[in-house]
Structure 1
Amino acid sequence: MIALLGCGVMLLSACSSMPVTGDVRPVGGGSQPGDSQVQVYAVAPRDDATPNEIVDGFLESMTSDDSNFRTTRKYLTRRAAKTWKPSAFTTVLAKAPNRSDRPLNDRDPGVTELAYTLTGEKVATVDGQSAYQPLAPTEYHETLHLVRETGPGGKEWRIDNVPDGLLLGQSDFRRLYRSVDKYYFAAGRTTEHSTLVADPVYLRSRTDPVTGMDTVTQAVRSLLAGPTSWLRPVVRSRFPTGTTLKQGVTSLGLDDRNVLRIPLGKKADGVGQRSCRMMASQVLYTLRDLTSARIEQVQLLRSDGSQLCVLEADQAEEFAPDGSSSGPDSQYFIDAKGHVERIPGSTRGTGTPEPVAGPFGSGPQMGEVGVARDEQSAAAVTHNRTFLYVSSIVSDGELPRPLVTSRAKKQNDRLSAPSWDARGDLWVADRDPRGPRLLRVPGGTGKPREVAVPSLAEGRIEALRLSADGVRIALLVTEDGGRRLKIGRIERHGTGEEQQLSVVDLRQAAPQLTDVTAMSWSGRSRLAVVGREEGGVQQVRYVQADGSSPASGILPGLNEVSSIAAADDEQLPLMAATRNDGIVKLSPGDNWQTVVEDGTSLVYPG
């Protein structure tokens, strides 16, 4: 292959000499993780290429930027080249695949068919919707079948039986693809109170070999195609079903005024202005991290080129994914006396802590706290985890009656820390082994209602955090001897006080961590997590909501972390409560710094 690295050219030939001993060897995947500037071009098989060279060249060429994989298909028979579908899905291995050093049936010198085994450790898949699915490492085993096909130079070895999709090592996957958040509106909300929800997918970092589209255009195309299957039941797109880009559009860019024009097909021609502006806001938030300059305006165009609607960047804040143009930025914690204190917002965690108003600031000793997103009220669990109270934190008053009481005999089997969703509902888990429950308190004041978790047959919820959009929940679940991080989708059935909720389709969010002890949503599609890999030490790291882990996700070392708090605004500091250093913060580009020497249960609102 030929790799262009900006200031030089490197030749990576798939036709180099092969070792003659050993059982398996790694193939391809020589790229450095995250090296997105490397552009790789495939090299066609040479005349009289050996079977080893054909297999290696094919696997190498799958890591290239070859247009429609034309060169890659030259390693296949004519029939296989026509039927192979590289965009069907992608299998991600921990490292580049290993192939058997010798074919399975090469003893006969006159053989006309050969088979090679490919092996590795499968860690993820990316489906046809570009949705990432992490996997606990499992064995990968596949066979490539070769035959001798008549070509221009006579009989040539070619692969005639190949699985659809791409097979990539993790380093090449990170080089070739990037995580992109598409945005859709939460279902069941009125148009006036609509909020956007992130739907992460993985797209090619540069031009997609199959479609010929740049990353921005790929993102718009994926947005128009609709949400991924996992998120689809709880979100809605304002684009009419079947809406596409105008035929032939492969590149979208900003003009000299940072205006982005999106030519649409006929399906969108009759959309009204309100719906069109909501469509434009989906585009704006989806592309905000993909363009080199800030998008100042989005214009959606009809199929005849006339203007459908215009949305200024500032107007899109009405639909901000966190439900407001600027999310809450104060931090709250339990001090040494068991009272709730607040570190004022806009201080980046450096303000002087002050007790909140009301009974939580001066009353009975509390052990865990959760603050509503409007910062007017809070929920607190008593030190012994038996009772859950809700009270104002901006005005004085008496401690009300408890909303939830746990009957568990042991303290660690009682109530979890509470969390608030974007609708103002309060959530808490009762971990009583005799009857574990996930509870929701409508409006933070209503009668607690149990939330079904059908897929949680054996495990027990230890902790929970609601996403800012209110349609996803992060759960720490005890199972198989450790704590696992899982993300569930919140589905709602019915309306009003009789509305029934359930958390469904739980999926692993950090399968590489065998024991997770703390987590917090960080932004709209990411979580800060504290946990350990098998046999490893405690780490603080970021993981995406789809379970993928960025190469730079591990944060500077911090020991004995008991809780962690992150904000919707990723520019606000990451906060942590530790057993030895008190409450500390990590601002972007800085090191951990002590904020309060004695405090626990640190949270941002939510």
Structure 2
Amino acid sequence: MPVTGDVKAVDASQPGDSQVQVYAVAPRDGATPNEVVDGFLESMTSDDSDFRTTRKYLTKEASRRWKPSAGTTVLAKAPNRSDRPIHEGDHSTTEVTYTLTGEKVATVDEQNAYQPLAPSDYSRTLHLVREKGPDGKEWRIDFVSDGLVLGQSDFKRLYRSVNKFYFASGLSDAQATLVADPVYLRNRTDPATGMDTVTQAVRSLLRGPTDWLRPVVKSSFPAGTGLKKGVASLTPDDRNVLKVPLDKKADGTGQRSCRMMASQVLFTLRDLTSARVEQVELQRSDGSPLCVLAADQAEEYAPDRSSGGPDSQYFVDAKGRVERIPGSTRGSGEPEPVSGPFGNGALRVSAVGVARDEQSAAALSQHNDALYVTSIAVDGELPVPAVTSLAGKAEDRLTAPSWDGRGDLWVADRDPKNSRLLRLPQGKGKPQEVTVPSLDGSRITALRLSSDGVRIALLLTKDDHTTLKIGRIERQGPQDDAQVSVVDLRQAAPQLADVTAMSWSGRSRLVVVGKEQGGVQQVRYVQADGSTPSSGVLPGVNQVLAIAAADDDQLPLMADTFGDGIVKLLPGDNWQTVLKEGSALVYPG
């Protein structure tokens, strides 16, 4: 503890250690209006259970009305309050109003769903009155908007991103696939409050999916299912078994449905470092076991289980042939040409997309005007083109293709006269045009499908700027003849003025190459909801043209660069050159 030196003001929202804990302090007797406002804002950043101390800055009526769970407004920095309050008429001794201002960058709604925003001005008022208390007249806030307002650094310290999991709609139980639904939950340290992260995650899972994902997923839990009344905290036992007591609505659930319910819990808790759960036991309202499921048994529902191969890397060599680097070598193996016309030189290829089972692939011709689909596991003849583009320039023709987790092939034609998004069910048959109603004059210049098959990442170009957006894939009608559309596009990297390349990297994360306004090129991770993890920025690498990542985050990140060829980045390492010659490297998908 220093005993000499100057006293300096410290911004409460300085970036710092996420383990730092802030304790709320009740207002002192005779606190000035400035102290009441500052104390109220500071206590919002604390670990105050149910904001009991925070509410002491409010009048009794305002405390009763205020709903902190209504949502969170995230500002670039902690909110600024006006230095001088506005005194109201002749009531300057009994009423004052303060203005809170800042730059709004995101919101978190009542469902804990994060929404990034283009930076905009924020302004709200706090109204204070002088009311009678047990120790005389005290200043208290009698008007405040519902929800919380936090600076970005406090938000990152207080909240953590958690993936809830639900099942993709429109699939049979045999095809059931889990889909990640990212939310932000507040870190809690006192399990006695029932608000520890594990309990919060399970409660949030039971409440159902967020509004954005709801149209394309479903929960196996019966509607309205909750934790048994009186359950305050969920903690794994010494054998890493988590027992989850449910209320009566789940009592009659069959074994198959119960196993699917348990798998939702296991995947939701998988990334929580605070709890290593190896087995989940769901219980009826009377405490008897409903079903038990081990972590390895839940793998049958994994979002990336459609990948039947070892996640090899594929690229186009200097002669336009598709070559494969065996997945077991983690990017260090000797490349070998694939079987069939893509590997024997029958077609000079510019880009490739490999099916997740690694048995077939789609490739573009040298000038991007034709898309071919064929086997890469056995030899065969070059088929007729599945899709062609009539655009005059190569850069206005077909995008690199991508396969979703259901085995469908996707490609976009960038022709300014006939721009369209196309889907080939199971990579065969006549291409179906997919409607994208919210393009707003933008043109699709690149695409990548998620492993769960319900989200698509699009690079959209408009007015010489390219941005990244995530769309929801909705299917209407029978599975073998569905009408497909991409709806509700939302920004995934609003902080980047231009995005040049992207790839899915896991269940709800992307790796993105782009520039901030006036900045230099950077490689970073972004979540599917548009938020940026605290460790999002990756080591720099020169002039990245394309990027590729696998669903397994232990496999290397690969990049196609101008000058250095193909390079790789393993966890905890620096970029290393893999091939001096080669381009368009991809993982399956």
SS at match of 1:483: strand
Matching residue of 2:570: 587
The question of whether the paired residues in 1 share the 8 Å contact of 2:306 and 2:406 is answered with no
Deviation at 1:215, TM superposition (A): 0.4
Distance in 1, Cα, partners of 2:73 & 2:329 = 45
SS at match of 1:398: coil
Structural RMSD (CA): 2.0
What is the TM-score when the length of structure 2 is the normalising length? 0.96
SS at match of 2:171: coil
Gaps spanning 5+ residues in structure 2: where? none
Distance in 2, Cα, partners of 1:63 & 1:256 = 33
The question of whether the paired residues in 2 share the 8 Å contact of 1:216 and 1:291 is answered with no
User: Match of 1:186, as an amino acid?
Assistant: A
Distance in 1, Cα, partners of 2:104 & 2:450 = 29
Distance in 1, Cα, partners of 2:309 & 2:485 = 27
SS at match of 1:274: helix
The question of whether the paired residues in 2 share the 8 Å contact of 1:523 and 1:570 is answered with yes
SS at match of 2:286: coil
Matching residue of 1:29: 13
Deviation at 1:211, TM superposition (A): 6.4
User: Match of 2:498, as an amino acid?
Assistant: D
1:366 alignment partner, one of 349, 352, 366? 349
Which sits farther off after the overlay, 556-565 or 200-209?
200-209
Distance in 2, Cα, partners of 1:488 & 1:325 = 22
**Is 1:428 matched with 2:411?**
yes
1:272 alignment partner, one of 237, 241, 254? 254
**Is 1:288 matched with 2:270?**
yes
Task: Provide Cα deviations, 1:173-208, integer angstroms capped at 9, x if missing partner.
Answer: 111110000000000011011010000000112248
Q: How does 1:343-354 map to 2 (within 5 A)?
A: 343-354=325-336
1:190 alignment partner, one of 172, 193, 214? 172
Distance in 2, Cα, partners of 1:325 & 1:339 = 23
**Is 1:522 matched with 2:505?**
yes
Deviation at 1:36, TM superposition (A): 2.7
In structure 2, do the counterparts of structure 1 residues 502 and 109 end up closer, same or farther at CA, with 3 Å as the change threshold? closer
Matching residue of 1:152: 134
In structure 2, do the counterparts of structure 1 residues 445 and 360 end up closer, same or farther at CA, with 3 Å as the change threshold? same
Matching residue of 1:460: 443
The question of whether the paired residues in 1 share the 8 Å contact of 2:513 and 2:522 is answered with yes
Distance in 1, Cα, partners of 2:214 & 2:563 = 44
Matching residue of 2:20: 38
Matching residue of 2:163: 181
Deviation at 1:498, TM superposition (A): 3.1
The question of whether the paired residues in 2 share the 8 Å contact of 1:18 and 1:52 is answered with no
Q: How does 1:291-440 map to 2 (within 5 A)?
A: 291-292=273-274, 294-324=276-306, 328-361=310-343, 362-440=345-423
**Is 1:118 matched with 2:72?**
no
User: Match of 2:121, as an amino acid?
Assistant: E
Deviation at 1:534, TM superposition (A): 0.5
In structure 2, do the counterparts of structure 1 residues 566 and 265 end up closer, same or farther at CA, with 3 Å as the change threshold? same
Deviation at 1:317, TM superposition (A): 1.1
Deviation at 1:153, TM superposition (A): 2.2
The question of whether the paired residues in 1 share the 8 Å contact of 2:308 and 2:358 is answered with no
Distance in 2, Cα, partners of 1:281 & 1:190 = 16
The question of whether the paired residues in 1 share the 8 Å contact of 2:206 and 2:221 is answered with yes
Deviation at 1:294, TM superposition (A): 3.5
Distance in 2, Cα, partners of 1:583 & 1:221 = 45
In structure 2, do the counterparts of structure 1 residues 532 and 419 end up closer, same or farther at CA, with 3 Å as the change threshold? same
The question of whether the paired residues in 2 share the 8 Å contact of 1:204 and 1:215 is answered with yes
User: Match of 2:241, as an amino acid?
Assistant: V
1:505 alignment partner, one of 468, 488, 502? 488
Deviation at 1:145, TM superposition (A): 1.1
Distance in 2, Cα, partners of 1:39 & 1:590 = 32
Task: Provide Cα deviations, 1:382-416, integer angstroms capped at 9, x if missing partner.
Answer: 12110000111111111110010101112111100
Distance in 1, Cα, partners of 2:547 & 2:129 = 57
In structure 2, do the counterparts of structure 1 residues 282 and 110 end up closer, same or farther at CA, with 3 Å as the change threshold? closer
Distance in 2, Cα, partners of 1:457 & 1:603 = 30
SS at match of 1:308: strand
Deviation at 1:107, TM superposition (A): 9.4
Q: How does 1:555-594 map to 2 (within 5 A)?
A: 555-594=538-577
Distance in 1, Cα, partners of 2:378 & 2:92 = 90
The question of whether the paired residues in 2 share the 8 Å contact of 1:299 and 1:310 is answered with yes
1:536 alignment partner, one of 519, 525, 529? 519
Distance in 2, Cα, partners of 1:209 & 1:151 = 33
In structure 2, do the counterparts of structure 1 residues 391 and 489 end up closer, same or farther at CA, with 3 Å as the change threshold? same
Matching residue of 2:222: 240
Deviation at 1:164, TM superposition (A): 0.5
Distance in 1, Cα, partners of 2:330 & 2:88 = 67
Distance in 1, Cα, partners of 2:455 & 2:231 = 34
Task: Provide Cα deviations, 1:114-146, integer angstroms capped at 9, x if missing partner.
Answer: 111111111110001000001111111111111
1:443 alignment partner, one of 401, 413, 426? 426
Gaps spanning 5+ residues in structure 1: where? 1-7, 10-16, 20-25
SS at match of 2:447: strand
Deviation at 1:112, TM superposition (A): 2.1
Distance in 2, Cα, partners of 1:18 & 1:210 = 37
The question of whether the paired residues in 1 share the 8 Å contact of 2:192 and 2:232 is answered with no
SS at match of 1:74: helix
Deviation at 1:275, TM superposition (A): 0.4
What is the TM-score when the length of structure 1 is the normalising length? 0.93
In structure 2, do the counterparts of structure 1 residues 208 and 95 end up closer, same or farther at CA, with 3 Å as the change threshold? farther
Q: Percent identity?
A: 74
Matching residue of 1:54: 36
